[in-house]
Amino acid sequence: MRMTERELRLLCNRFFDAYQDRRIDELRAIYAPNCVIWTNVFGVERSGHDNLVALPASYARARRRTYDDRVINMFDQGLMIQYTLSGVHHTGHRGALSVCIVALCKEGLITRIDEYMDTSKFPEWRGPGYHEDG
């Protein structure tokens, strides 16, 4: 059954609020059991489960992350979200990335995510003196 625009918008905001608040259990409830996530950063598909397992390490890289300036556009099978990922790193550096996600949704769950980031902006996001291991 096709989700309504209101249902899609609520699911989208629930998804981003859970990511922002680091509520992995909420994200687990939002992902369909067979959810697939692809990002241009890694260029490979991985399961929603594998994405959730990787989140604590991702969260540890910044003190705070927010998902700002959300622009949500719906289509028959899902939504496209453009937003700014803003972060405060452990060094105090503040960075931002522009991101676009296309999400397929069915029966109140996200079944697929394709995420696109401008990787040329990573040095500005990370800030001076960034090291992958710290």
Confidence of residue 114 (pLDDT cuts 50, 70, 90): very high
Please check whether residue 34 lies inside any domain of the structure: yes
pLDDT digits 0-9 by tens, 4-15: 899 999 999 999
Please check whether residue 133 lies inside any domain of the structure: no
Q: What is the mean pLDDT of residues 82-111?
A: 93
Please check whether residue 134 lies inside any domain of the structure: no
What is the residue range of 19's domain? 5-126
Q: What is the mean pLDDT of residues 9-31?
A: 94
Please check whether residue 131 lies inside any domain of the structure: no
Q: How many domains does the chain have?
A: 1
Q: What is the mean pLDDT of residues 106-111?
A: 95
Instruction: Decide: pTM greater than 0.85.
Output: yes
Check which CATH number belongs to the domain holding 113 and give it: 3.10.450.50
Confidence of residue 134 (pLDDT cuts 50, 70, 90): very low
Please check whether residue 132 lies inside any domain of the structure: no
Confidence of residue 72 (pLDDT cuts 50, 70, 90): very high
Tell me what the pLDDT averaged over the chain comes to: 90
Q: What is the DSSP string of 66-116?
A: EEEEEEEEEETTEEEEEEEEEEE-TTS-EEEEEEEEEEEEETTEEEEEEEE
